[in-house]
Homo-oligomer: A and B are copies of this chain.
């Protein structure tokens, strides 16, 4: 494996700030990865994404393998060239979406067979096929092992059976990944909310050995308290010198709480999804631009941000665009939200480096509107 250098530049309590060095660029951590599901961060040009300060974006194997197909992306020069993003890309394994297809999939030890939500066509995903798609066809920089995202709630037995399958798939993923100089492979800790199972999962992954470790199976309905407890139980099991990635999380407060517990990387569709639905994120929580109180509010969303969507457009104008269901409203709010998330990560990195992260988190929690 590539074993991308990971420099820890600062530690403050459990919170860490550092740099993961990849051939396509440095990822400053804690990092938030905007999600580019179908080879596009929804509504945004890659230059706009880049301008927000994002070092890395995420691509979804499930969506891309179905359309335009991984083989076609390969023939067109790989995912970076296809979508014109020249920075690092992390791809998920496809497992999360496939396991969400209740009734349309058949699970076996070897892998999972499923039907496309687009046209009902039959497809197969195994640890080996996922690696092939991510590493060989899409050309991802950070490849995720195929795992089973254990549903919530799960009994101890169910969660144990599930994590063991994921662990075996982790071994097969690593074998399929082999020696690659310019790409990295991350393993995924499962085990639901059971600390003993999280330990078992982490120990098995460490035996296999990965370039980074994701915490999977959270933000699936267990609630914030259980999520944070599980992160707390898992974090000490993970090697200090490798990045830790909390998958699919989350709201700004979730990022702050998870960073406080030692997480380095995040991804979530929330900034762009909220943007398409008229919501702007802020330190005080989400702002619903559709609300009539903004109809003559001449102030911008956040004058401190360089992003034009944040600092150059009046809320009254954004309100109008949302009410009129104008495309530009979706674009501007998505752009602001991605910029806000990146700024939040930058502020957290700064606070950790300065040794003031505890105070930062305290102020952040206190500043949230009651909701």
Contact = CB atoms under 8 A, between A and B. Distances in A.
Interface of A: 38-40, 42-45, 47, 67-68, 72, 75-77, 82-84, 276, 295-296, 298, 308, 312-314, 316-317, 319-321, 323-324, 326-328, 330-331
B298 A76 contact: yes
A327 B314 CA distance: 23
12 contacts: A38-B321, A39-B321, A42-B328, A45-B328, A45-B331, A67-B323, A76-B296, A76-B316, A77-B298, A276-B327, A327-B331, A331-B331
A321 B40 contact: yes
A82 B42 CA distance: 25
Interface centre among A75, A83, A323, A328 (most CB of B within 10 A): A328
In this complex, which of A40, A75, A316, A323 has the most chain B Cβ atoms within 10 angstroms of its Cβ? A40
A83 B313 CA distance: 8
The 5 closest A-B CB pairs, nearest first, are A43-B327, A40-B328, A68-B320, A38-B324, A40-B326
* Copies of this polypeptide in the complex: 2
A316 B83 CA distance: 10
Contact of A328 (B44, B77, B308, B313): B44
Contacts of A321: 38-40
A326 to B, nearest CB: 5
A122 to B, nearest CB: 20
Contacts of A312: 84
A78 to B, nearest CB: 12
Given A43-B331, A312-B84, A320-B38, A296 B326 contact: no
A308 B38 CA distance: 20
Nearest to A76: B316
Contacts of A295: 68, 72
Contacts of A45: 308, 328, 331
B327 A76 contact: no
B75 A296 contact: yes
Contact of A324 (B67, B276, B323, B330): B67
A330 to B, nearest CB: 6
Contact of A42 (B68, B316, B327): B327
Contacts of A319: 68
Contacts of A39: 317, 320-321
Contacts of A313: 84
